[in-house]
Amino acid sequence: MRNPMFNRKQSQRSQRANVKFHRHLFAFALIIILGAPAYPWAAQGRNATHGVPATRANSSRDTVVAVFRSLEKSEQTGDGKLYLSVQSRRKLDAAGEKFIQEFSKGFPPDPSVHYTLMGVRIRNDHAAVLGKITRSTGPAQYYLGKLVLEKGSWKIAEDQLDQQPIGASALEAAIPPEGGAFSRSGSPWSKVPYAAINTKWFKPGEVEWKLQATADESFVYIRFEARAPLPAPGTEIPAKGTEGIPPSPNVMVIGIGNGKNFDLVLSSNPMTRATFDEAGRATSNRFFVQYSYTVKDAAGATRFSGSTRDTFAPLIAVHDQFLDLRLPLKSLSVEDTGAGIEIREANSLAKILPYQVGRFSP
């Protein structure tokens, strides 16, 4: 779930506090439209003391953690400016000046809020922080924030909140490693064999997707190929319709030689964006193509996920008739591709036969 700041029950406080809370809800609706959190504060000449600089001398774990602590303090004190100050430039531009001005006025403070740090991962100018948020007014929630360096300061590019614990594997997926041998070679899919089709039960025309996969020292790369070009992410479609969106690939199981299995769930459901009037009331809905994936463990719990809306180190891409994934090996508990990786359909009557993923060799 996106946008942790605005996911709170209404406080039974003074009328003034309730007015601020309704601004809270309007902000939440706006963020859903934008498809990413947008709590920025960045017009020229505004308070710069809230920034969390990450100069060459201190661009370390401490400065990333300082952003996390800024979020905590802003909730405890109702400081909208502080909360907005650690958001990325892209969020500033997407949110708009009016939203920035409204949210910077603040919101009802909650001194009971406590942020517990659970993990940090940094690679060059990207970072991620994993945490747990507790408050007296509701159950614990789990937070994953993705940060980038902007003009020497860490800023939140994307974040999400979940009622269920977010595991350490999500950090590996949030800050993936450098591209491996396959990426460095220009992703030569022509060298990767296709999975065999179950011709005993299905005709070629009944199989909507072809499958290819390979692995290197960093990722397992998976490509699904449709029979016709796919609509590009962000393409607007008719209201409440799915015209032009192909059915998603069947649920696949990624089996690891160490005995672990993970479900790969892909979706091509439309994304809804609402439009609002000046009073913050929804006036209409528009629908856009979006592709997403979720990796689940054997118990059905989400290990990590992403979509074509991601702008921060995305692991999914769609172009022409291809849907491409690159999953970090460590996020799948794979230390060595020599252990073997198999991809198979979860359905007992599979259209695609089990596929042994080979190690890429340039």
Question: What per-residue confidence (pLDDT) applies to 269?
Answer: 78
The lowest-confidence range among 216-220, 311-315, 355-359 is 311-315
Question: Of 118, 136, 166, which closes a domain?
Answer: 166
Asked if 243 and 259 touch (Cβ cutoff 8 Å), the reply is no
265-292 tens-digit pLDDT: 999 877 777 776 676 666 778 888 899 9
24 inside domain: yes
How confident is the model over 54-58, as a mean pLDDT?
A: 44
Which residues have C-beta within 8 Å of that of residue 212, sequence separation ≥ 6? 189, 192, 193, 194, 195, 222, 223, 225
Residues facing residue 254 across a β-bridge: 262, 343
Amino acid at 342: E
The lowest-confidence range among 65-69, 270-274, 291-295, 304-308 is 270-274
Question: What per-residue confidence (pLDDT) applies to 52?
Answer: 54
The lowest-confidence range among 1-10, 98-107, 183-192, 318-327 is 1-10
- Give how many domains the chain has, as a whole number: 2
> Which sign does the torsion angle of CA 148, 154, 160, 166 carry?
positive
Co-location of 124 and 203 in the same domain: no
Instruction: Give 243's pLDDT tier (boundaries 50, 70, 90).
Output: low
Tokens of 184: 């460095």
Residues facing residue 253 across a β-bridge: 263, 344
The lowest-confidence range among 19-33, 42-56, 209-223, 323-337 is 19-33
Co-location of 354 and 253 in the same domain: yes
- The proportion of the chain whose per-residue pLDDT surpasses 70, expressed as a percent, equals 79
How confident is the model over 154-169, as a mean pLDDT?
A: 91
Co-location of 115 and 203 in the same domain: no
- The proportion of the chain whose per-residue pLDDT surpasses 90, expressed as a percent, equals 58
Q: Share the mean pLDDT of the chain.
A: 82
Residue 14 has pLDDT above 80, yes or no: no
Which residues have C-beta within 8 Å of that of residue 135, sequence separation ≥ 6? 8, 110, 112, 113, 114
Co-location of 229 and 311 in the same domain: yes
How confident is the model over 207-212, as a mean pLDDT?
A: 96
The angle subtended at Cα 304 by Cα 303 and Cα 308, nearest 5°, is: 155
Co-location of 186 and 272 in the same domain: yes
Supply the DSSP string of 249-314, one letter for each residue.
Answer: PPPEEEEETTS-EEEEEEE-PEEEEEEE-TTS-EEEEEEEE--EEEEE-TTS-EEEEEETT--SS-
> Residue 142 and residue 167: Cα distance in Å, rounded?
10
Which CATH number goes with the domain that contains 37?
A: 3.10.450.50
Instruction: Give 350's pLDDT tier (boundaries 50, 70, 90).
Output: very high
The range of the structural domain enclosing residue 330 comes to 181-359
175 inside domain: no
Distance of alpha carbon 10 from the chain centroid:
27
73-117 tens-digit pLDDT: 999 999 999 999 999 988 877 777 888 888 889 999 999 999 999
How confident is the model over 7-34, as a mean pLDDT?
A: 34
